[in-house]
Amino acid sequence: MWDGWLDIPGVMAALAGGVLVAAGLAALILVTPIYKHIVCLRYLFAGWKAVVPLISALPAALGVFLLILVFAIMDGFVRETREMTRGTLADVIVDAHLEGMPYYDEFIQRITRIEGVEAATPIIQTYAIVRVKPRVEAVKPLVRPCLIIGVRPEQKAEMGRFAQFLVRQTVAGLKAQEKTRMDTARYLEHLRAAGYPPEALLDVPADLRRDGAASRAGAIAGLGIIGTPLPVLVTESALEGAGARVLLGVLTGGAVVVLLLVWQASRRYHGRRGWRRAALAWLLAAGALATEAALIPVYPVREERRQVIDVPLLDYGDDILVSTIPVRPSGALEKEVGGLPKVSERLLVLVDAFRSGYWEADSTHLYVDFATAQQMAGMEGRPAEGDQAAVPARASQVHVKVHDPAQAAAAVEKIKEAWREFLHERPEAGLLQLSINTWETQQRMILKVVEIERNITALMLGLMFLGFGVVIALISYVMAYIKGRDVGILKALGARDAGVGSLFLGYGFIIGLLGTALGMAGALVMIHYLDPIEIWVNRMLDVDVFPREMYYFEHIPRHVSAPWCVGVGVAVLAFSTLASMAGGLLAALRQPVESLRYE
Amino acid sequence: MSEPILQARGLVKDYWMGAARLRVLHGVGLDVGRGEFLCILGPSGSGKSTLLHLMGLLDRPTEGQVLFEGEDAFARPKRWRDRLRNEAIGFVFQFYHLMPDLSVLENTLLPAMIRTPLVRWPLVRGRERRRAEEVLGDLGLRDRKGHLPTELSGGERQRAAIARALVHRPRVLFADEPTGNLDTATGGEIMRVLARLNRKGLTVVMVTHDERLARQAHRLLHLVDGRLLQRP
């Protein structure tokens, strides 16, 4: 049930923390006099007063609900964005920009000898203009800027999630989510079994070869390059009746909670028979709700929904004309005989489309074979000719995969050191301005923006607790004031000032506990049923709560962080306990004779 | 008089009404013997409840001392006085002062619940409960132990309050107008209960404005305008 979005290591940490906090609390509760617990619970749950803590717990419940729900969605957004970004790159990127790095294979050999490095592959990157003629006659040729990325497909497939983002060469039967989340090595095994060996991902298969295409290289284009956003009707599965059943389930749970709350009241104020009658009535009501919920038929329905998606305007096997301007090793542009920059044109064959969900990659990336890209960028090696010395082949980047992604930053330092040593041995590589960074550093702008957005949202929602704190403080103060005579009685019987004061802290703590439990349960149920609820809301209100084309996710992303949940719970408990110090202080400082003198 | 269990020495109590000082007690001194039934008689506003609160360690005097079994109570830490109130002193108030959310039995168990941590409660609960039921039985409230105070008559409430004051076997019982809120017959019944307890050896200090009730005590002191008219 929790697979996919519940952070398992986090759960363990949260459980350990929770056990520690619970053990501390239990010890505290065990060594305090029993009157505090009995009186506090009686204040909370006896008679009509049972409504007061329930109502006071509602702001806390709402706060916890929103903090967990919104943070889960924002955190899911952050994680999926990171996953997509990382999937198009590698753990560490050695960037030689358009100047190119000579002797890259030698350097790669050196890199792979570094401890912790699993693999490395050279990459070519150069800018280009793509022209494609859409299949639809009425549509003019598409002319778009793009980034040519030359890869060795068998190495690049191991590096990130490159193979998992392909549209045609994919493992049939896997949903997009399963596909992008699956372990890369496992996915490649599946891919091989499906007839798509990683080394042949850029090959043009026989069924896609058309006239004159025999000698052309294959290309994989981002869906944004070869497509256009169009409104289409998409079929979507929904569970009819699920929303109503969840709603009734929540009401049933609420009825049971209220039953527990009125238990004391009914027992105390109406005698045993009255309590039995009340319990029976509540049980019947809860049973009726549960039965009604169970009787609501839940069945799958398929619905058509209007959605704007990138529709490819080309078929696989169609031509793509790519124009580049090669750059010489000196950094100068290749020139024609007349001195004009030389434009290199290459006709490629579309063999697949690429969709990572990362907009920048999908709208600009055009993957071609490494050697082809090298020629297009002018980075291929040239033998010595006449008085001209031989020119070594160059690569724009080296992508590095490390065993433990958490150690990527340490790998960066080792690679920098390796480069210095390499230069010492190979001074002819020249004084290149290499940028060696982790993928996170390279993409920090986009990641930072999303993370800041998440944190600001959490902060703003957290401010709601100020209002909640005021409510708790007022309720606890009023309770301590109303119960002034009880305070006097307890002190007259020997209760200590601090003990009587802490009774009201317990009052606030239990309100916080109720709110946390209600809010957390509500949020977790909501997160679990987010997709059916979204579809239900869309249908009921005729809106599109989460437009896929805007966010590029196929479902609302979510990630429940157990430490966050525990943190929110602990913060609410601490906050409500602190806020109730208003009542606690009043009770502790009150002289018993003040309240005992008169009725 | 037997050996004193409680001694008041020069008790002065001031209340402040803004900047104005109101002296309620003017150097009151008295001894209470062990097993004695002492009654302090005085009109309303004479300071008799204040004196009772000071002797019962519920309030701190502006000046003077209260010696409990020879110990200067206000020279000891507050924790000591709290413990003394819990273990050695019982209070009965004019307005009963039972906790409305607790049953009669729970009200009677309060002193035990105040001194017992939750972890020890299962070990002592049976014994304390038997003791509370025994006291309630002596006071004729055995059948009312599960009721809330609001479900009891005035006399029953006062008997419940006495049960709570006696359950921990106090050495001194302070009664502040214990019949002030009751009809004559019920008041007489409460007085008989107090007299019976005193005959069993309990020291009783009672304040009242009713001379007829005061006559049942061994010794009578008059308090007028914060001064004792007759020294013991």
Query: B106: domain range?
Result: 37-57+86-228
User: How many angstroms separate the Cα of B12 from the Cα of each of B4, B9, B18, B27, B127?
Assistant: 21, 9, 19, 5, 42
Phi, psi (deg, nearest 5) at residue A315: -105, 160
- The answer to whether B121 contacts A489, with C-beta atoms less than 8 Å apart, is no
- Residue A327 · residue A377 · CB < 8 Å: yes
The DSSP code sequence of B157-185 is HHHHHHHHHHTT--SEEEEESTTTTS-HH
Provide the number of CB pairs (under 8 Å) joining chain A to chain B: 98
pLDDT of residue B1: 65
Q: How far apart are CA B163 and CA B96, in angstroms?
A: 11
Q: How far apart are CA B97 and CA A194, in angstroms?
A: 83
Closest approach of B192 to chain A, Cα-based (Å): 24
Q: Does residue A328 come out as left (phi exceeding 0), alpha (psi in the -120 to 50 range) or beta?
A: beta
- The answer to whether B84 contacts A494, with C-beta atoms less than 8 Å apart, is yes
Cβ contacts of B103 on chain A, cutoff 8 Å: 268
Average pLDDT over residues B177-205: 88
Q: How many domains, in total, are found in chain B?
A: 1
Asked if the model's pLDDT at residue A50 lies above 70, the reply is no
Cβ contacts of A597 on chain B, cutoff 8 Å: 49
Per-residue pLDDT band for A98 (boundaries 50, 70, 90) equals confident
Please choose, from the candidates B171, B129, B113, B120, the residue with its C-alpha nearest in 3D space to the C-alpha of residue A490.
Answer: B113
Asked if the model's pLDDT at residue A8 lies above 70, the reply is no
Q: DSSP secondary-structure letter at A141?
A: P
For residue A337, the tally of other CB atoms under 10 A from its CB is 6
Q: Which residue has the higher pLDDT, A466 or B35?
A: B35
Residue B220 lies in a domain: yes
Q: How far apart are CA A550 and CA A359, in angstroms?
A: 10
pLDDT of residue A138: 73
pLDDT (tens digit, 9 = 90+) per residue, A167-198? 999 988 887 767 777 888 899 999 999 999 99
Written as six digits, the tokens of A513 are 């506990």
- The answer to whether B58 contacts A42, with C-beta atoms less than 8 Å apart, is no
The rounded mean pLDDT for chain B is 91
State percent of chain A over pLDDT 90.
Answer: 32
Closest approach of A491 to chain B, Cα-based (Å): 8
Q: Which residue has the higher pLDDT, A296 or B48?
A: B48
Q: How far apart are CA B208 and CA B179, in angstroms?
A: 8
**CATH code, B133:** 3.40.50.300
Asked if the model's pLDDT at residue B40 lies above 80, the reply is yes
Q: Which residue has the higher pLDDT, A555 or A152?
A: A152
User: How many angstroms separate the Cα of A470 from the Cα of each of A20, A362, A583?
Assistant: 29, 49, 12
pLDDT of residue A294: 76
Average pLDDT over residues A62-66: 89
- The answer to whether A592 contacts B58, with C-beta atoms less than 8 Å apart, is yes
Of A491-500, A530-539, A546-555, B9-18, least confident by mean pLDDT is A546-555
Cβ contacts of B128 on chain A, cutoff 8 Å: none
State percent of chain B over pLDDT 90.
Answer: 73
Q: How far apart are CA B199 and CA A387, in angstroms?
A: 132
Average pLDDT over residues A473-495: 91
Q: How far apart are CA B5 and CA A597, in angstroms?
A: 25
pLDDT of residue A341: 87
Q: How far apart are CA A201 and CA B140, in angstroms?
A: 95
Q: Which residues pair with A312 in a beta bridge?
A: A227
Element (H, E) at A29: helix A8-31
For residue A70, the tally of other CB atoms under 10 A from its CB is 16
Average pLDDT over residues A273-285: 67
CB proximity under 8 Å: A 477-506 to B: 485-486, 488-497, 499
Per-residue pLDDT band for A5 (boundaries 50, 70, 90) equals very low
pLDDT of residue A4: 47
pLDDT (tens digit, 9 = 90+) per residue, A394-442? 999 999 999 988 899 999 999 999 999 998 888 887 777 789 999 888 8
Per-residue pLDDT band for B231 (boundaries 50, 70, 90) equals very low
- Residue B221 · residue B40 · CB < 8 Å: yes
Whether chain B has a CB inside 8 Å of the CB on A38: the answer is: yes
Domain boundaries, chain A: 8-84+446-596, 90-232+307-442, 242-296
pLDDT of residue A463: 81
Q: How many C-alpha atoms does A404 have within 13 Å on its Cβ side? A: 6
Of A154-158, A280-284, A330-334, least confident by mean pLDDT is A280-284
Beta-strand pair A92-95/A142-151 = unpaired
Residue of chain A nearest B174, judged by CA positions: A492
Average pLDDT over residues A222-236: 79
Asked if the model's pLDDT at residue B101 lies above 50, the reply is yes
State percent of chain A over pLDDT 70.
Answer: 88
Within A203-300, residue ranges assigned H as helices are: 223-226, 242-295
Q: Which residue has the higher pLDDT, B182 or A586?
A: A586
